[in-house]
Amino acid sequence: MNLWYRAEMSAKIVPPTSENLQTACSILAAGGLVAMPTETVYGLCADAANPIAIARIYDVKGRPDFNPLIAHIAGLEMAERQGHFSADAKALAGAIWPGPLSMVVNIRDTTSIASIARAGLDSVALREPSHPVARSLISTFGVPLVAPSANLSGRISPTRAQHVFDDLGDRIDLIIDGGACQSGLESTIIDARDAHPALLRLGPIAAPEIDALWPGLKQADLSAEKPVSPGQLLRHYAPNARLRINAITALPDEGYLGFGPVESDLNLSPASDLIEAAANLFDMLRQLDAQYTQIAVAPIPSGGVGDTINERLARAAERA
């Protein structure tokens, strides 16, 4: 196996033609880094079995090495080669995959996913994305691809190819452009190792949906000193600008991110549609962040995806 791939000066943004997907696979096989669209956010891919390529992921993102990556697979069979699924876990995966749900399971002794990708844990987060481009890239590559969100660590996740270029263009090898991400929020994560699942990260798949398929969903204790999901550190998803949430109006000098029929600089959804708001959230935060040093965000109704939006905003508003 070739373990080292030398990046060119800056990554090309290319359309998802079959020729470009082949090129992407050659780059990945040589240890390179490729950004791909998924239905949640763009991911920065490396061969899950290549520790040096994965070390580059941590390096280019500035990601702490105790924060493990999600391995992306195509089909439950590929997932089961890596980790142990209980009957309940399998049924849940069968019902929701492909889709925005990551499941933490215990690894098999024979797993090919490098220890560095798992931050040394004996568990792994697995996800089968539904985006057609992600699916064909993984199927063509044939083995799992690890992919954290393709942003600088702690910053706003990318929902467009240009966002990836802005953060990482000079440090990675290729960006596959699949347009704007449909959901715009990172996947829901559950711990699927016990008799009952535990919610590790809110996301597009809401808790009641999981609970209906596998009853007894618990809220994991994310305040623990050594969190189960190390990525759930408080300050995250942060713009450079100071963020004020639940703001009915903007103060002078603040950029205003509206929701519903209000006057604003940018509006997440003039029609008060939470799904539309989720898809616009990270793009509009990035746009306002480029223009203002202070951003005020209108109140977002709670419930369903509104809870996930509010959770991401609360973390973005947290000062280091």
Interface with Mg ion by CB under 5 A: which residues?
A: 149
289 binds, among Mg ion, ligand TXA, none (CB under 5 to 8 A by kind): none
Query: Is 150 within 8 Å of 158 (Cβ atoms)?
Result: yes
What value, to the nearest 5°, has the Cα angle with vertex 77 and ends 43 and 189?
45
Q: Is 288 in the site for ligand TXA (CB under 6 A)?
A: no
Q: Select from 21, 24, 35, 41 the one that contacts ligand TXA (CB under 6 A).
A: 41
Cβ of residue 186: shortest distance to ligand TXA, in angstroms?
4
Residue 179, sorted as left (phi over 0), alpha (psi -120 to 50) or beta, turns out to be left
Query: Is 24 within 8 Å of 142 (Cβ atoms)?
Result: no
* Residues sharing a CB contact under 8 Å with residue 99, sequence separation 6 or more, in sequence order: 39, 128, 129, 130, 204, 205
Q: Interface residues for ligand TXA in 227-246 (CB under 6 A)?
A: 228-232
Q: Is 68 in the site for ligand TXA (CB under 6 A)?
A: yes
Cβ of residue 152: shortest distance to ligand TXA, in angstroms?
11
Q: Is 313 in the site for ligand TXA (CB under 6 A)?
A: no
Cβ of residue 50: shortest distance to ligand TXA, in angstroms?
17
Look up residue 28 and give its amino acid: L
Query: What CA–CA distance (Å, rounded) separates 3 from 97?
Result: 31
Cβ of residue 36: shortest distance to ligand TXA, in angstroms?
8
Cβ of residue 114: shortest distance to ligand TXA, in angstroms?
13
Q: Is 126 in the site for ligand TXA (CB under 6 A)?
A: no
User: Distances in Å between the alpha carbon of 187 and those of 8, 112, 147, 200, 228?
Assistant: 31, 23, 12, 10, 16
Cβ of residue 212: shortest distance to ligand TXA, in angstroms?
21
Query: Is 278 within 8 Å of 185 (Cβ atoms)?
Result: yes
Q: Select from 21, 74, 113, 124 the one that contacts ligand TXA (CB under 6 A).
A: 124
User: Which two structure tokens, joined as six digits, stand for 157?
Assistant: 């996740």
Q: Is 43 in the site for ligand TXA (CB under 6 A)?
A: yes
Question: Which residue from 8, 4, 6, 11 is spatially nearest to 168, judged by alpha carbons?
Answer: 11
Query: Is 219 within 8 Å of 227 (Cβ atoms)?
Result: no
Contact letters for ligand TXA, residues 191-230 (x by CB under 6 A): ---------xx--------------------------xxx
Could you tell me how many residues of this chain bind ligand TXA (CB under 6 A)? 31
Task: Enumerate binding residues for ligand TXA (CB under 6 A).
Answer: 38, 40-41, 43, 67-70, 100, 102, 104, 118, 121, 123-125, 127, 129, 147-149, 186-187, 189, 200-201, 228-232
